[in-house]
Structures are given as structure tokens and as C-alpha cells.
């Protein structure tokens, strides 16, 4: 039995039936990590003690839905006693003193953690090239990027060195790498999942979400990690759906809107053709397809790159060399220590965004930039709200291109930012979005994005589940 080919639900069922032991599962995935890491580099930290934890679970009878099942966690989510580096030199040796709320919930469900996955530094990037330690490679073509910022999480699920993973999504950081790596990634509605214990990038945009190869695993993780958290004032007190049951409902009669503005952007022919085929198949499955308009969507990238850096400049002010993290070795006074610590500790992209954000918030520019971007954000939300009066779900490509090669976009930050042209609007509006594999072109994955009404992840999962019965994408395996 090839345990690394199994998903979370399958592994959980096998453990409950005592056909396999948790330690056998942990050992199989750690062996797979050993086989693939030299090529892929998905993990920053591998938690070797996961086998010991699994052996302890061998002797007990657990009731949790993930009892004895391993997961990978993006390295900007705290696990007590394990390094949380955010792929940055400034936090290179920081040991998390507490568990994030999602980690507490997963532990209560019986989960084991295989390791912490690589990302663009402080989740700022679309290719995982901005990690301070090393780039992660795309399992489908090691000359290409896995996407970002949750590139490590998407790559390890794709290459089967974890059955599923958690990532974070600020402007597409779960969905875009999932599209590039040929897996499913869900960005929940803002407030659905607690952000307590997630290292903040842009607090009004960040959201933790799951990455997996099967819809049932995404649904299962959502049932576990969702819900109100008194430690996060932005989390919403709303009943958590039985996603694992809701996903099996028929999609016949669902209305899917296709924004005409999406196709005013430059989209690679391979991506456009694959998306068109995907829509035709959904129509054959009983969905109604309708053209809609999101007139202000073209302003989403400029609005996002004012709002996100502004919030980042505030959030990253805490890294000053005094309280925790890296401190410069040589300095003359306190101000010099701050300056040198940040100059040496932060990477190029993080410094770029801090400067952009600080400028946008500065006296004389706040109204011209930040306030205007917030007004545009409201217009984008209103466009979505109006569209959802006519349709149940909005669909489009997840990314405008196939996975690009290393170095192609690092010289031009604007080109890198445009990788997220279809995803950032979802964060600005606080909506749920899912990327699902819809085809392969030139042996590279293509992702399709579905955007839902607030707190309607269930409908997205219904379409995803139906689609994987038609197109068994989870059977495709990278050549490694």
C-alpha cells in the first residue's frame, strides 16, 4: 500500500480501522521528504519528532477526525516549540512560544505535524524566490517556480511529501501556488478562520486556508479550523457548515458568472483554452453560464499594492532588534541599531514593500494614496455584491500564465505583481475563493478559480467535488 498517495480522509479511515498505524504513516511521509527534498526544497524545518508522537498514538485509541494523520504547515504559522522563521533572516532562530489557534484545533483533532514549509519572506511574493534561505522548485518542472507565497505548502502536497498543508493567502498566496503545482487551494472568507498565531503581513487581507489534492480533504480541514476565536476580534461567530456533506450536493442549476473584464487582461493561450473547456464541461454538468461585469476589477492590483504594503509597514515595525529576532552586531546608537537590524535582516522585496507602505501613509500622501485605495476597495466589493445578485459563483483562470521560469520576473516587480491579477480582488472584497486543477498544458498544471458569496465555501466545494469526479486531477503525479 502506497501511503503517500493517500489523502487525509483515506489515511484517517485506515488508522481508525487499524489497518495501519500512525507511526507507519509518519515514517512513510518522512521517507518521501528525504527522497524529494534535495530536488524540491519545500520544507524549511522538518519535525523529526513527528515519528515519536505517532508512536505514542499507536498505543492509544483516538477519536479525532485527524487522529495520527500528518500535515505540513506554512512557516508563518506558529507551532509551539518549533521554529517560525517566515523565511526571513530576521526570524531565522525564533522558536514559537505558543500555538496558533488553527494548530490548537488540529492538535485536538489528533493531527501530527511533519514540518514547516518554505515561503516568500513574510509571505511577500508570488514565486517563493524571495525566501531568505532557498527557492522551492515546481515538482512538474524544476526550472519553474511553484508560485507563492505558499509555494512550499503547494509543492509538498503536489510531490506527496505531505497529504495536505496549511497556507496563508493575502492576495492569492494559497490559490496561485496551488494552480502552479496542480493541487486544490482554498482561501476562506475573511473572518471564517482565526488569524491568531499567523505572523501578520496585511491584517485586513490575510487568511489561513487548506491545500490538498482532494476536495474531501479541503472540506475536512475547513470543518476543523473554522469558527469564532476570542483571541481574534476579526473572526466571525457563525455556524460552521458540514462541508464534507455539503460538497456532495448536486450542482445542477447553479449559475456561474464569467466577468468580461477578466479577458481584457493578457492571458496565455494555453490557459484561456483550458479554461474555456472547463466552463463547457460545467455547463454540460447542469450549470448555467452567464457573462457578468466587474467594472472596477482593473483597479484591484494598484489598490492592493497600496493597502497591503501600508499594513505591512505597520506590522513589520515590531522587528527592531530589541524584543526578539535578529539584531545587528555593530551599531552606534539605538536608531542606528534599528536601521542596521532591518537593513541586514529584511530581504529586498520586504524592504521595497515597507518603503512603499510608509510613503503611502505619510503626511501629505495619505489622502492621495491610502484613502483613495480604500475607496476603490469599497467599489470592488460593491461590484461583487451586485454580481452575486445574478449568479451563485464567479469563475475565471487562477493565473494569467502557466508557471514561469526562475528569474523571469524578479527583475521587474510589476510583472511579478501581475501574477496575482485574478486573485487579489477576492482578498480586497473578503470573499472565499478556490483554485482547482482544470488541465495540463505542456505537462504543466492550469488552475481555475471559483469565487463565492461571503461564507459560502460550501458551493465552491460542491463544484470542486463534482469536477474531480469528471476530471480526476488528483491521479496526476509529478515526474519525481
pLDDT tens per residue, range 154-177:
999 999 999 999 999 999 999 999
Q: Which residues contact 19 (CB under 8 A, 6 or more apart)?
A: none
Count of beta carbons in the 10 Å neighbourhood of residue 218: 30
Q: What is the pLDDT averaged over residues 276-297?
A: 97
Whole-angstrom distance, CA of residue 101 vs CA of residue 119: 20
Q: What is the pLDDT of residues 405-447, one digit of tens each?
A: 999 998 888 888 888 999 999 999 999 999 999 999 999 999 9
Exposed / middle / buried, residue 475 (Cβ in 10 Å: 0-12, 13-18, 19+): exposed
Q: Which residues contact 79 (CB under 8 A, 6 or more apart)?
A: 47, 73, 96, 99, 100, 103, 113, 116
Domain 3-256+390-475 falls in which CATH fold?
Answer: Amidase signature (AS) enzymes (3.90.1300)
pLDDT of residue 410: 86
pLDDT of residue 418: 86
pLDDT score of 458 more than 90: yes
The answer to whether 116 is a known catalytic residue is: no
pLDDT score of 225 more than 90: yes
Return the closest-CA partner of residue 468 out of 1, 4, 7, 3.
7
The residues that bridge with 393 in the sheet, in sequence order, are 256, 452
Count of beta carbons in the 10 Å neighbourhood of residue 279: 18
**What is the dihedral sign for C-alpha 382, 388, 390, 396?**
positive
User: What is the pLDDT of the chain when averaged over all its residues?
Assistant: 96
Is omega for the bond preceding 43 within 30 degrees of 0, making it cis? no
SS3 annotation, the chain: CCHHHCCHHHHHHHHHCCCCCHHHHHHHHHHHHHHHHHHHCCEEEECCCHHHHHHHHHCCCCCCCCCCCEEEEECCECCCCCECCCCCHHHCCCECCCCCHHHHHHHHCCCEEEEEECCCHHHCCCCCCCCCCCCCCECCECCECCCCCCHHHHHHHHCCCCCEEEEECCCCCCHHHHHHHCCEEEECCCCCECCCCECCCCCCCCCEEEEECCHHHHHHHHHHHECCCCCCCCCCCCCCCCHHHHCCCCCCCCEEEEEHHHHHCCCCHHHHHHHHHHHHHHHHCCCEEEEECCCCHHHHHHHHHHHHHHHHHHHHHHCCCCCCCCCCCCCCCHHHHHHHHHHHHCCHHHHHHHHHHHHHHCCCCCHHHHHHHHHHHHHHHHHHHHHCCCCCEEEEECCCCCCCECCCCCCCHHHHHHHHCCCHHHHHHCCCEEEEEEEEECCEEEEEEEEECCCCHHHHHHHHHHHHHHCCHHHCCCCC
Crossing angle for the helix pair 269-284 and 457-470, nearest 10 degrees? Answer: 90
Q: Across the chain, which distance is largest between two alpha carbons, in Å? A: 70
The answer to whether 362 is a known catalytic residue is: no
> Cβ(282)–Cβ(467) under 8 Å?
yes
Whole-angstrom distance, CA of residue 20 vs CA of residue 340: 53
Quickly state the pLDDT bin for 146 (edges 50, 70, 90).
very high
Q: What is the pLDDT averaged over residues 78-82?
A: 98
Cα-based torsion angle of the residue sequence 314, 320, 324, 327 in order, rounded to the nearest 10 degrees: 150
Q: Which residues contact 378 (CB under 8 A, 6 or more apart)?
A: none
pLDDT score of 318 more than 80: yes
Whole-angstrom distance, CA of residue 125 vs CA of residue 361: 21
The answer to whether 173 is a known catalytic residue is: yes
Marked catalytic residue, from 41, 74, 116, 453:
74
Quickly state the pLDDT bin for 202 (edges 50, 70, 90).
very high
Marked catalytic residue, from 23, 126, 131, 149:
149
Q: What is the pLDDT averaged over residues 135-157?
A: 97
pLDDT of residue 364: 86
The fraction of the chain above a pLDDT of 90, given in percent, is 94
Marked catalytic residue, from 150, 173, 300, 464:
173
Q: What is the pLDDT of residues 228-271, one digit of tens each?
A: 999 999 999 999 999 999 999 999 999 999 999 999 999 999 99
Q: Which residue has the higher pLDDT, 282 or 413?
A: 282
> Cβ(353)–Cβ(309) under 8 Å?
yes
> Cβ(221)–Cβ(212) under 8 Å?
yes
Q: What is the pLDDT of residues 227-240, one digit of tens each?
A: 999 999 999 999 99
Amino acid at each position: 500500500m502506497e501511503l503517500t498517495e493517500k489523502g487525509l480522509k483515506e489515511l484517517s479511515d485506515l488508522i481508525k480501522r487499524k489497518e495501519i498505524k500512525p507511526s507507519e504513516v509518519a515514517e512513510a511521509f518522512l521517507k518521501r521528504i528525504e527522497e524529494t527534498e534535495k530536488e524540491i526544497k519545500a520544507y524549511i524545518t522538518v519535525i523529526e519528532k513527528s515519528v515519536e508522537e505517532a508512536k505514542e498514538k499507536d498505543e492509544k485509541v483516538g477519536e479525532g477526525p485527524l487522529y495520527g494523520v500528518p500535515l505540513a504547515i506554512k512557516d508563518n504559522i506558529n507551532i509551539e516549540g518549533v521554529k517560525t522563521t517566515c523565511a526571513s533572516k530576521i526570524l531565522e532562530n525564533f522558536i514559537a512560544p505558543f500555538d496558533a489557534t488553527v494548530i490548537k484545533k488540529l492538535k485536538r483533532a489528533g493531527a501530527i505535524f511533519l514540518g514547516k514549509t518554505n515561503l516568500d519572506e513574510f509571505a511577500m511574493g508570488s514565486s517563493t524566490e524571495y525566501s531568505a534561505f532557498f527557492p522551492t522548485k515546481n515538482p512538474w518542472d524544476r526550472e519553474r517556480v511553484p508560485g507563492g507565497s505558499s509555494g512550499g505548502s503547494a509543492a509538498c502536497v503536489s510531490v506527496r511529501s505531505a497529504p495536505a498543508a496549511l497556507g496563508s493567502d493575502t492576495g492569492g498566496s494559497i490559490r496561485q501556488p496551488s494552480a502552479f503545482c496542480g493541487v486544490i487551494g482554498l482561501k476562506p472568507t475573511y473572518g471564517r478562520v482565526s488569524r491568531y498565531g499567523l505572523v501578520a503581513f496585511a491584517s485586513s487581507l490575510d487568511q489561513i486556508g487548506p491545500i490538498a489534492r482532494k476536495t474531501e480533504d479541503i472540506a475536512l480541514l475547513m470543518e476543523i479550523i473554522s469558527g469564532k476565536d476570542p483571541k481574534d476580534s476579526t473572526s466571525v461567530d457563525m455556524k460552521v457548515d458540514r462541508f464534507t456533506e455539503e460538497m456532495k450536493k448536486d450542482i445542477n442549476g447553479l449559475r456561474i458568472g464569467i466577468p468580461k473584464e477578466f479577458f481584457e487582461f493578457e492571458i496565455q493561450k494555453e490557459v484561456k483554452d483550458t479554461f474555456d473547456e472547463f466552463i463547457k464541461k460545467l455547463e454540460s454538468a447542469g450549470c448555467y453560464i452567464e457573462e457578468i461585469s466587474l467594472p472596477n476589477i482593473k483597479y484591484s492590483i494598484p489598490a492592493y499594492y497600496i493597502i497591503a504594503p501600508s499594513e505591512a509597514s505597520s506590522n513589520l515595525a515590531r522587528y527592531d532588534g530589541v524584543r526578539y529576532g535578529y539584531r545587528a552586531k555593530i551599531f552606534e546608537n539605538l536608531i542606528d541599531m534599528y536601521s542596521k537590524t532591518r537593513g541586514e535582516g529584511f530581504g529586498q522585496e520586504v524592504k521595497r514593500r515597507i518603503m512603499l507602505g510608509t510613503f503611502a501613509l505619510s503626511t501629505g500622501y495619505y489622502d492621495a494614496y491610502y484613502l483613495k485605495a480604500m475607496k476603490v476597495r469599497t467599489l470592488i466589493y460593491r461590484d461583487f455584491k451586485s454580481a452575486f445578485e445574478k449568479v451563485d459563483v464567479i469563475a475565471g483562470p487562477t493565473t494569467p500564465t502557466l508557471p514561469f521560469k526562475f528569474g523571469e520576473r524578479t527583475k521587474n516587480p510589476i510583472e511579478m505583481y501581475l501574477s496575482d491579477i485574478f486573485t487579489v480582488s477576492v482578498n480586497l472584497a473578503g470573499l472565499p475563493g478556490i483554485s482547482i486543477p482544470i488541465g495540463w498544458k505542456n505537462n504543466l498544471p492550469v488552475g481555475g478559480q471559483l469565487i463565492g458569496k461571503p461564507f459560502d465555501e460550501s458551493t465552491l466545494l460542491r463544484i470542486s467535488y463534482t469536477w474531480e469526479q469528471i476530471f480526476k486531477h488528483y491521479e496526476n503525479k509529478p515526474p519525481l
